[in-house]
Amino acid sequence: MSTATEIIVPAAERWFHTGFTLEYGARYRVTVPPGQVWTDWYVTNGPQGSTTFLQKAFRHCLRLSPARDPRAEFFTLIGTIGESLEYAFIIGAGPCDFTAATSGEFVCFANDIWPAYWNNHGSMRLSIVRIS
């Protein structure tokens, strides 16, 4: 079993490069300590995110859209490999176990629409560890 690496993901980064390298085929576990929040404009969210009545009309514009994963909300904590939505997955409140579909850097972001990162505030702390 490997040692967990702690990462702090800023809400305003479209692609937060963690510096943590994933190896193709390896299994990882991401955990998110409870009680954390970050803010999208005036809406405070935990890592699972949410969609307000006003945001509902724009939900289909999210980077990880509900068409791809119905659990995707505004400000859901997302992980991926490199700067690719092809490998994107929901971390949310975790724990989240996944198998790396390719080798590359673990990248995270708050799920939002591309031009709206300017009004994001706060950060989310997580840890990742290789489990097999």
How far is it, in rounded angstroms, from Cα 101 to Cα 60?
25
**Residue pLDDT tens, the chain, 132 long:** 689 999 999 999 999 999 999 999 999 999 999 999 999 999 999 999 999 999 999 999 999 999 999 999 999 999 999 999 999 999 999 999 999 999 999 999 999 999 999 999 999 999 999 999
How far is it, in rounded angstroms, from Cα 59 to Cα 65?
7
What's the predicted TM-score (pTM) here? 0.97
How far is it, in rounded angstroms, from Cα 16 to Cα 116?
15
pLDDT of residue 30: 98
Take residue 115 and report the two structure tokens written for it: 């031009």
pLDDT of residue 2: 84
Peptide bond before 95: cis, by omega within 30 degrees of 0?
yes
Other C-beta atoms lying within 10 Å of the C-beta of residue 74: 22
